[in-house]
Every structure is written in C-alpha cells, then in structure tokens.
Amino acid sequence: MRVNVKKLAVAGMMTALGVCLSTFSIPVGASRCFPIQHLLNVLAGIFLGPGYALGFAFSTSLIRNLLGTGSLLAFPGSMVGALLGALLYQYTGKMWTAFLGEILGTGLLGGMLCYPVATLLLGNQKAALFTYVLPFSISTVGGCMMAAILLTVLSKSGAVHYLQGMIQET
C-alpha cells in the first residue's frame, strides 16, 4: 500500500480529536461509551477509506488505553465499525452505508467481539456474548446521528466532495 501523506495527516488529526474528546463519555452498563469516536469513525470511513479508517481507530484506542482514558473494549468496538463502515462506503459510494457499517460493525459485531476480551483479558466471568451489544449500539447510534447532521450540512454546501478531492492523491 502506497502511503498518502494527506490521508495520514488527516488520520492523525482525527486521532488527536478522538483522544481529546474522549472525555465526553456516557456510562452505559458495564462499559464507557464514546459517541464522538463513532462520529469520527464514519467521517474516517467516508474521507479516508478502509485502511486509514482502521489505522485511525486502532491509534485512538491505543493512545486512550496508554493514557488510562479508555479500556481494552475500545479496540474491537471502534476498529470493526470503522472498517465495515469504510468498506461499505467504498463499495457503494452511498453515505448511509457508512452509517450502517458503523452501527452493525460497532454495535453488533464489535459488541460481540468484546465478550472474549472481557472474559479472557479483563477477567469478567459475568459477561455474556451480548453484554456489550446494547451499550455499544446506543453509543454508535448517537455518534452516527451526530455524523449524519454534520455530513448533511457539509453535503449541501458541497464541502464533502471538495474535501474528498483535497485528500485524494494527485
């Protein structure tokens, strides 16, 4: 894969935003949910593509964990949603598929992938397969709603296509 410096720079800025804004959390059930991460996942999927969106989600989760502001549950939650949203958007070119990918990837698949993380790595023997699906789904729907509002405004002004053109390799 050839490195696109513009996409790398945008991914770095989005990572910084994700880390800085991660203090805005909503405690739901056994996890701390972050709607800002899901907003950024959708934006990364649309503007950066699958590889950079996945790298952005991983970087944000890693830095949050190193700073003590995140948990290991952030990895499967954010990474699967960012990747699936980006892949669906890349395949169809329709924004709603990025939202769908984020909701299914984070809410359902990411929530289910948290089960082995919770039981094996965090020692939570009370966790069940679907323990994290509801809290992750609530968080990701909130983040996707925020992204939908932002992207609607940006689309009407023509900024989405302009920004996509600016980020692409020349």
Domain count, the chain: 1
With 0.85 as the threshold, say if the pTM is over it: yes
Distance CA 15, CA 125 (A): 32
Residue 158 maps to a domain: yes
Domain that holds residue 45: 5-21+31-167
Contact present, 166 and 6 (Cβ < 8 Å): yes
Residue 26 maps to a domain: no
pLDDT at residue 29 tops 70: no
Distance CA 118, CA 44 (A): 27
Residue 62 maps to a domain: yes
Q: If pLDDT is split at 50, 70 and 90, which confidence band does 44 have? A: very high
Residue 134 maps to a domain: yes
- The DSSP-derived string for 120-134 is IIS--TT--TTTTHH
pLDDT in tens, 102-126: 999 999 999 899 888 888 887 887 7
pLDDT at residue 170 tops 70: no
pLDDT in tens, 61-115: 999 999 998 888 889 989 999 999 999 999 999 999 999 999 999 999 998 998 8
Residue 88 belongs to domain with CATH number: 1.10.1760.20
